[in-house]
Structure formats: structure tokens, C-alpha cells
Chains A and B, each alone.
Chain A
Amino acid sequence: MPLRVELKPGERVIIGTAVIRNGDARTRFFIEGEAPILREKDILNVDTADTPAKRIYLAVQLMYLNGDLSGHNETYFPLVKDFLGAAPSATPIVADVNNHLLTGDFYKALKEVKKLIAFEEEALSNATRG
């Protein structure tokens, strides 16, 4: 089944190795086949990945876009180890992320990392409150 994508005026989306920028009107289109697809709102870059969990997200995002597990092991695992060293109770989430990565399901892994970002947000909001 093709994937339906709807873009607002000027919105961008990554499909495969290209960035597609919408024109002035709302656009709806369908994508068939296998290619990494990321909407603008799901994309983090070096400047917006400004917390430990978001850096892990960026690392997984890079693996997803390259469709390749090998290249980023030297960034991904050090980041994950740092994170778990600081917050070991996030291990179950990380274990799920790892499982998706191992089975080559990068998109699901990326979704799972969002839980890690939520975990971090909660922990930090507790810290600033307490």
C-alpha cells in the first residue's frame, strides 16, 4: 500500500537521498516502494539535537537515512552508553531501540527513540521542579 504524504505550503520532506520542498499550495502525493522518508517535523539536525537523547535520535536518523547499520556504530553506542550511565532506568527503552536496529527496522527504531526523548524531558522537568 502506498504511503500518503500531505505537505503544507513550503514544507520539506526527505525521500531517499533528496529533499523535496513544497510550493505555494498544499500538496498530497503517494509514495510506493522502499526509501527512507522523513517529514520536516521529525528531522533533527546538529543544532536542534541539543540534549543527550536527541543526539541519539540524530544518530539513529543518520542510520535510517543511509539504510546502514555499520557506519554509525562508533557514534551511536558511545552516546547510548553515556545515556545509560547517567540514567540506567532508560535501559528497557534502549533495548527496544537496539532490537529494531538489529532487525534492520530503522524507522521503528526512530519512533522508539522518541520515547527516550520523552523520558529525558520528564526526568529533566522533575529536576528543574524539584
Chain B
Amino acid sequence: MDITLSSAVRGNVLTLQMIADQQSTIQQRLSTGKRVNSALDDPRNFFQSAALNNRASDLSRRLDGMGLGIKTIEAADKGMKGMTKILEAMAAITKEAADATTPAARETLGTQFNALRTQLMNLAADSGFNGINLLGGDNLTVVFNETGTNTQTVNAVSYATDAAGIAVAVASAAGADDNTNWAAATATNGDTAIAASATLVNTAISNLRTQAATFGTSLTTIRIREEFTKEMINTLKGGADGLVLADQNEEAANLLALNTRQQLSQQALSLASQAEQSILRLFG
């Protein structure tokens, strides 16, 4: 049997259907917190917002890379701190050896010196993070922007094979008599050998300090970029969410209100004091 609807009833049904549609839209907006949910609602804002969210997630990946880079440099730095301690102990041994009077005592100290030297290289070999060891000859490249065109390379050093310039173990076998042997039979020959080792150790310590400063500069640069990128991602995400709510008239009113608020704000004050400290003070 056919059911015939009068035009009034059909009108009501249509209205009900529309209300149901609207309700589901409202519910979706409520559940996602966004006014525009699909390309059909407002195509321009939708696609812009999606693009911004994509950029944010691209940047998040870069941020991970920067985090790993920072950890890698920190691992190298920690390694170098340990190496400096070992080198200081080696310097103490050279002093002790210089004061020692018998070849036998010097031989023992020479063996200790060599043992520390091996530890020094082992420490350097173990100072990597995530497969990259800046003390073991692996350069580190950190990418800053989404497209990968802006990078910074941190050049590695090879302390794992050449312990900060102390490549050769010292000879300290008692008996032989030449000026490269700590335990040389002639005391002055031994003195010369020990003094040479002491010089090497001092050079190594100062090399390490220079290198630590170089890594430190890279670390600062990457940290600043990391912080900046974090803020950038927040801005992109916030903007993308706001974009789907964007309304031109509202924005204009907001900007006017913001201007009034900013005139008295802390930011305006700190901006003013920064300008006052810069070359801009000459443009009063």
C-alpha cells in the first residue's frame, strides 16, 4: 500500500531530517572541538589548517632529530670530562715518576701510566649515543628545517684511536738505556722520557678543553634551535586550530583589543628595554 504524505507532513519530515543533520554536525564539532571538520564545511580554511598541521608534524620529526643530536653531544661531553680526569691522574703519575729514584719504581709507574692510557681510549670509544660517537670519528649532522636544506654538522674527533694526542704507549721496561724509556738505567735518560710524556699529557688536556668548547658552541646552537622549533610547532598547532574558527570581523575586533592591551603589557616594556640596549636607541 502506498503511503501518501500531505505537503505539510512532508515539510515537517524534511525539517526533522535537517535538524538531525545539524545535530550530528554540532555533535561532531563538539566532539572534535573544531568548527570546520571536513573540506566541505569551509574548503580554504580546512586545507590551510591541514597544511599547517602537516608542517607541525614535519617539524616534530626534526625536533626528534635535534633531541638525539643534543644527546649525542652530551654523551661526547661526558666522555671528555671522564677523559680529563684520567689525564689528570696521568699527569700526577708523571710527577711521581720524575721524583722516583730507582728504575724499578719508574717501571711500575710507567705500567700504570699505560694502563690509564688504554682506559682513556676505551672511554672515548664508549662515548657514543644512538650509534654516533663524536669522539670516535662519526660526524653528526642535525637538520633544522622541514625541507632538510638547513643543517649543522658537528665534526668528530678520533680520540678512540689516538687518545687526544697520546698515540704511543710509553716504554718503561727496566734495563734498556735510551732517552725514550722511563726506566732507563741512566737517570737523566729516564728524566727526559718522563718529561716528554708529561708534555704530551698537558697538550692532551688543553686539546680536550678546546674541543669541549667547540662541542659546547654547537650544543648551544642546536639547543636554541630546538627551543625555537618547539615554540614554532605550538604556534602552528594553535594557529591551525584557530584557523577553522576564523572570522574576519572577529579577528579585526580582536586585533584592536589586543593593541590596547599590549600598550600596557609586560612584553611592550621588555621590547622597549631591548630596543633601548640596541643600536635602535640612536633612532629616538
Contacts and interface: CB of A to CB of B under 8 A. Distances in A.
A43 B282 CA distance: 11
A73 B279 contact: no
Interface string B221-260: 0001101110110111011111101101101111111110
A5 interface: no
B144 interface: yes
Q: Interface centre among B51, B149, B231, B258, by most A CB within 10 Å?
A: B258
Contacts, number: 165
Given A89-B246, A95-B55, A19 B282 contact: yes
Interface string A34-71: 00000010010111011110010011011001100111
Interface in A73-110: 73-75, 77-92, 94-95, 98-99, 101-104
Nearest to B242: A88
Interface string A10-26: 00101001110000000
Contact of A85 (B51, B254, B274): B254
Interface residues on A, range: 35 or more
Contact of A123 (B224, B225, B251): B251
Given A62-B278, A69-B225, A79-B262, 15 more contacts: A19-B282, A46-B272, A46-B276, A52-B255, A69-B228, A75-B267, A78-B267, A82-B267, A84-B238, A88-B238, A89-B48, A91-B48, A91-B242, A102-B229, A130-B252
Interface of B: 45, 48, 51-52, 55, 144-146, 149-150, 220, 224-225, 227-229, 231-232, 234-236, 238-243, 245-246, 248-249, 251-259, 262, 267-268, 270-272, 274-276, 278-280, 282-284
